[in-house]
Amino acid sequence: MQESNDNREYYLTLILSGLSLGKQKHLVSMFKSLADANYFERYTSDLASILTGDEYQTIREIITTGAVDRHLKGLDKNGIGLITIENIHYPDYLKNIHDPPFVLYYRGDITLLKTDCIAIVGTRVCTRYGIEQTGRFAKELCKAGFTIVSGLAEGIDTYAHKGALEAGGKTIAVLAGGLNTIYPAINVNLAHEISEKGLLISENVPQFLPKGYAFVQRNRIIAGISLGVFVPEMGAKSGAMHTLNFANEEGRMIFVLPGNVTSSSSVGTNNLIKNLQGACVTESNDIIKNYPEHSIVDNQKIARKHQQLDLYEKLICDILKVEELHFDEILQKTKMEPKKLVSLLTTMEIRGLIKKLAGNYYST
């Protein structure tokens, strides 16, 4: 399972020591490998300027007790791969962010890190509108050749991953915790499916339990491996804003779907648009056109245009273009007999003219 060396013993020594990312960066800037000047042989003044005495002793213990070797064997036993920032599979986009992770643990197809990715992030408390639009955009972006990236959280993240998988596309889940501590527990099965058909990654050791700061750090990776970030639904205060801030800092494009102005789940997205903090999009092509090497043809829409519609079918299509409606609302607007309407809606759904949603709602 493990890749070629890529200086992993050195980086894992730093990771296993529990040092902050800042101290890891400082050491890497001074010393490139364990062999470099044998710098862990004694507690020099250079090291003392970075590490406390206890931190130095922890690193010495890791080196002298073979902790890295045991760690690598444990990864193999659990089917977990590992790449470092020096590995050929490590994406350039991520390598060039402000604080790139030195190590990535993974399960799945590591080559997806070198594909064109679009991140989809948003609220954990999403509406039916958010669920539907997230799935639609994820599927269409996959059909255009993008890999969908998200954080496996409840809500928008979940439906972004599911939409990609349902389309037969690829998706990457970036975890805040370790690969052996999937969070939230409700997404354990989804994580397993992603590991088989896509990619799970984390910068944290497999047994790491996610903590608040780890979710923020995780978001820089989501933005870092992506060409752009799409936000279909987001409340006024959302962790997704961390991802957007990282995306802004790293020069990634931000795409925002407008939402219902009376919905608390869309306050954040509508504010982004109002404050010109992201490009307003209403269909996947609004995103895709920014990346000329990708294209999409909506065969379903083309097929619809060539179908002959009778008077009632056209009426139903026209009223559903405005908004999704409940069966009773369609009945009231069309003034049809209930049995006839049920039959017509079923036929139109089979022909791909309309979609039946949860709760007996319909949309085009």
Is domain 300-363 in CATH 2.40.10.10, yes or no? no
- Supply the mean pLDDT for the chain: 88
Residue 309 reports pLDDT greater than 90: no
Residue 295 reports pLDDT greater than 90: no
CB-count burial class (<10 Å; 0-12, 13-18, 19+) for 24: buried
φ/ψ of residue 355, rounded to 5: -125, 140
Q: What is the pLDDT of residues 233-285, one digit of tens each?
A: 998 888 888 999 999 999 999 999 998 888 888 889 988 888 888 889 999 99
Distance, in Å, from the CA atom of 119 to the CA atom of 212, rounded to the nearest integer, reads 21
Residue 162 reports pLDDT greater than 50: yes
The structure's pTM equals 0.79
- Residues 174-183: what's their mean pLDDT? 96
Residue 350 reports pLDDT greater than 70: yes
The architecture (CATH level 2) of 110-297 comes to 3-Layer(aba) Sandwich (3.40)
- Residues 313-336: what's their mean pLDDT? 88
Q: Tally the C-alpha atoms within 13 A of residue 258's C-alpha that lie toward its C-beta.
A: 10
- Residues 120-141: what's their mean pLDDT? 94
Q: H or E element: which one contains 46?
A: helix 45-48
Joined together, the tokens standing for residue 313 give 């079918």
Residue 12 reports pLDDT greater than 60: yes
Distance, in Å, from the CA atom of 138 to the CA atom of 153, rounded to the nearest integer, reads 16
- The domain ranges of the chain are 1-77, 110-297, 300-363
